[in-house]
Amino acid sequence: MEIVHVAAECYPVAKAGGLGDVVGALPKYQAELGHVAKVVMPMYRTKFLYTNEWELVHEGGQQMGSHFFHYSVIKEKTNKLGFDLYLVDINGLLDREKIYGYDDDTERFMAFQIAVCDWISKWTHQPDVIHCHDHHTGFIPFMVKYCFAFSKLAGIPTVFTIHNAQYQGWISWDKYYYLPAYDSYKWGLLDWNNMINPLASAVKCAWKVTTVSNSYLEEMRYAANGLENLFEYERGKSLGILNGIDTQVWNPETDNMIVKNYDKELVEKGKMRNKKELAGQFGLDPDKPLITFIGRLVGEKAADLLPEAISQSIYQHHGHANFLILGSGDPELEDRLDQMKHQFKGYYNSYIGYNEQLSHLMYAGSDFLLMPSRVEPCGLNQMYALRYGTIPMVRTVGGLKDTITDFGDWQGFGIRFNEASVWDITYSVGRAIDLYNNKPDLYSWMRSHMMTIDHSWDGAAQQYINLYQSLK
Ligand code: ADP
Ligand code: GLC
């Protein structure tokens, strides 16, 4: 099959979170299964762009409202990532350092989607499926069906994967003219609550809708940032496919971003060596359990609870655990988490910012990884933690619920709690300290057991193929 993935992120080209990891891995595994997998994404000014070789494959131009833009499509020459990678360059709009966060993100991603449809409509053949990811690509299922300029594409099946329904890309109706001319009877397919809503539109127009775990699919029917009824209505064409992880990138035996490689047999020594490195860098005590958090500092991740939960845990458990945070997001929270370093010197530290290498070292060198998320469609961190022998401490929600069991249950290998609250986190920290200090056999069994759990993409990549095949 020929599959075209369209997304705003793809690791290692550009990544802001788990979307990048998924789009960097799924096509590779689909290619390994013998399919032609392509990724089309915006051309940002990232290191990957400047350190690789490209060929020009197409140049075109299109109208976005009254604005005419030129675009070009370049292809990475060597198939370095294991799939065909195409970048869409639109001067002045896409070629920036960051992926998101600009005032004109609406225009940027609208132009990107128009360019993608225009380019594919110039192909001499048609792909078997166009697979769009999240709201930045959410107009494509509508555009291929109803925009006159792309009528040639109307028969191509579209699949839309929701990685996160919190962000929907709302646009006010006074920008309706950005979309290329379409059958105006269909305007309702763009609308949700009097706004143009690309996520809602994709759910209405795509042939199939997937989310990244089964639990999240269920949860969206009663908590989807205003789209609950839509998910209930479209339940019949929706399904959950749990993400995998790229076991070539995330492998403690070969990872060159950590200081000591290890496998299941050498896990104790290997982790200790990495922990000592972290403890040295951040002024922590390697003999105490190290509990870390890695992620976006936003409400969904319940990162706002961290300052209070960490202070309470340090007081209530008499400093018997150390904490380390890696994250960026809400500026006020960044400041608080940064300031706390001085108050809890020797017990707590943080790195505010994005640091891929440090994240690997933290998965390897931590004893526990905390994820108190309010919303977690899938979550990849907990799966990386399992692979690196780090015990996940997770709130029972979304993909966390589908991947982690509690050590109090039969053969459980993690720590679960029900509420995103300071109390639940502090209590769980107590359980972690007790496990670390007083239950060495159980702790060591959990570690080696979790490292054997297979969360590779093999199964999920095939599930997507089966889904595409069902659309033929
Ligand atoms: P989300 O996509 O909602 O942010 P996921 O758990 O799916 O959550 O994936 C997060 C990804 O981003 C993981 O690869 C994680 O290691 C990475 N990550 C998040 N924040 C940072 C950071 N500050 N520095 C480095 N990596 C980060
Ligand atoms: C989103 C979700 C996260 C998921 C990731 C990849 O960003 O917040 O839970 O793992 O996408 O699908």
Would you kindly state where each structural domain of the chain is located, as residue ranges?
2-244+457-469, 267-450
Determine the average pLDDT of the residues in 331-343. 98
Does domain 267-450 sit in CATH 3.40.50.2000? yes
Task: Give the pTM.
Answer: 0.97
Which CATH superfamily groups domain 2-244+457-469? Glycogen Phosphorylase B; (3.40.50.2000)
Ligand 1 atom nearest the C-alpha of 11 is 14
For residue 19, the ligand closest to its alpha carbon is 2
Residue nearest to atom 7 of ligand 2 (CA): 18
> Which residue's alpha carbon is at the smallest distance from atom 18 of ligand 1?
295
396-418 average pLDDT score: 97
Alpha carbon nearest to ligand 2 atom 12, residue: 163
Q: What is the rounded average pLDDT of the residues 246-268?
A: 97
In this prediction, residues 193-216 reach a mean pLDDT of 98
Candidates 456, 433, 460, 281; CA nearest to 384 is 456
Q: What is the pLDDT of residue 242?
A: 98
* Closest ligand 1 atom number to CA of residue 356: 25
Q: Is 398 left (phi over 0), alpha (psi -120 to 50) or beta?
A: left
Mutate to test the pocket of ligand 1, among 294, 354, 355, 370 (most ligand atoms within 8 A of CB): 294
Ligand 1 within 6 A of CB of 355: yes
Mean pLDDT calculated for residue range 220-238:
96
pLDDT for the residue numbered 404: 98
CA of 411 to the centre of ligand 2 (A): 27
Angle value at C-alpha 432, between 311 and 379, nearest 5 degrees: 85
Residue 286 CA to ligand 2 center (angstroms) comes to 31
Q: For ligand 1, atom 9, which residue shows the shortest CA distance? A: 18
Share of the chain above pLDDT 90, in %: 100
The β-bridge partners of 63 are: 68
> Is it true that the peptide bond before 12 is cis, omega within 30 degrees of 0?
yes
Question: Quick check: CB of 295 below 6 Å from ligand 1?
Answer: yes
Tell me, in angstroms, the distance from the centre of ligand 2 to residue 301's CA. Answer: 11
Do residues 363 and 383 lie in contact, with contact meaning Cβ atoms separated by under 8 Å? no
Count other C-beta atoms under 10 Å from residue 406's C-beta.
16
* Start-end of H helices in 103-257: 105-121, 140-146, 198-205, 214-219, 228-233
- C-alpha 3/C-alpha 96 separation (Å) is 27
Going by CA atoms, what residue is nearest to atom 24 of ligand 1? 354
- Among 383, 274, 369, 389, CA closest to 21: 383
In the reported structure, the alpha carbon of residue 354 is separated from the centroid of ligand 1 by a whole-number distance in angstroms of 9
- Ligand 2 centroid–CA 426 distance in Å is 25
Ligand 2 atom, smallest distance to 300 CA:
8
- Across 365-379, average pLDDT: 98
Q: Is the shortest distance between the CB of 307 and ligand 1 below 6 Å?
A: no
Is 21 close to ligand 1, i.e. is its CB under 6 Å away?
Answer: yes
In the chain, pLDDT over 70 holds for what percent of residues? 100
CA-atom Rg of the chain in angstroms: 23
Please determine whether the domains at 2-244+457-469 and 267-450 fall in the same fold group of CATH: yes
| Nearest atom, ligand 1, residue 327 CA | 23
Burial 79-112 (b: 16+ CB within 10 A, else e): eebbbbbbbbbbeebbebeebeeeeebbbbbbbb
Mean predicted lDDT score pLDDT of the chain: 97
238 lines ligand 1 (CB under 6 A): no
Integer angstrom CA distances of residue 117 from 1, 65, 106, 132: 19, 16, 17, 12
Q: Would you state the pLDDT for residue 391?
A: 98
Task: Return the percent helix, strand and coil in the chain, to nearest 5.
Answer: 40, 20, 35
- Ligand 2 residue neighbourhood (C-beta within 6 Å): 17-19, 22, 163-164, 212, 243, 376-380, 399
Q: Which of 211, 296, 358 to mutate to test the pocket of ligand 1 (most atoms within 8 A of CB)?
A: 296
AA identity, residue 269: K
pLDDT at residue 364, as a whole number: 98
Q: Which ligand is nearest to the CA of 401?
A: 2
Alpha helix stretches (DSSP H) within 410-457: 422-438, 440-451
Ligand 1 pocket residue status of 359, Cβ below 6 Å: yes
CA 356 to ligand 1 centroid distance, Å = 9
The pLDDT value given to residue 96? 97
Nearest to 142, CA basis, from 92, 199, 194, 100: 199
